[in-house]
A and B are shown apart, each in its own frame.
Chain A
Amino acid sequence: SQKIEQNSEALNIQEGKTATLTCNYTNYSPAYLQWYRQDPGRGPVFLLLIRENEKEKRKERLKVTFDTTLKQSLFHITASQPADSATYLCALDETGSARQLTFGSGTQLTVLP
């Protein structure tokens, strides 16, 4: 069956450290993988998209890697800040036309001051 798993429901790290979140998938062949941030009681906010033929994508303090052999994406936040505390969702787009996304259940990140 198809599955998207994000590592641990919750992750606590110290301010200034690098947070690494994992997204593993089974029985999907995504053309794109996307990462979103969701704050409590709010809708997700798009952060980064990486294509199947890309290994790495960066945006400011964010970095995403995509390994289609391992069927895994890693999401890194460097020099983390308490304001980075939120739930982070990975989402797969199999079609390549982004008609529909399938979301993981998210990892709740808390950055401790």
Chain B
Amino acid sequence: GAVVSQHPSRVICKSGTSVKIECRSLDFQATTMFWYRQFPKQSLMLMATSNEGSKATYEQGVEKDKFLINHASLTLSTLTVTSAHPEDSSFYICSARGTVHLRGGYTFGSGTRLTVV
């Protein structure tokens, strides 16, 4: 139980275009979803936290107009990287939390490798 599906796993896009990444909780209701980015050999850095039906809370230094987050339902959150540039190339990971996690831990998606060329 507590499976999170993230798509796509890899995406290559041209500079200036937008890319949407989906994060779905398959067998539980995700009251909170988190979006991270991870550069090679570095830690996961939290970008934003979203609760279903409300606006996402962004971490300091993360541009909310560039990284659009929508958490429209209890099972789906999307991250859209708008007007992507090569410096946005990274590994993006979502995680989700619901009542199934009362005993601890988060469930993470398998990540999306974004390459902007």
Contacts and interface: CB of A to CB of B under 8 A. Distances in A.
B106 A9 contact: no
A43 B43 contact: no
Contacts of B34: 100-101
Interface string B79-117: 000000000000101110100010111111111010000
B54 interface: no
- Range of interface residues on B (Cβ < 8 Å): 20 to 34
B104 A43 contact: no
A46 interface: yes
A103 B103 CA distance: 19
- Range of interface residues on A (Cβ < 8 Å): 20 to 34
29 contacts: A4-B43, A9-B41, A32-B104, A34-B106, A36-B108, A41-B91, A42-B111, A43-B6, A43-B94, A43-B108, A43-B109, A43-B110, A43-B111, A44-B93, A44-B95, A45-B108, A46-B104, A46-B106, A49-B105, A98-B101, A98-B104, A100-B34, A100-B49, A101-B106, A104-B43, A105-B41, A105-B42, A105-B43, A106-B43
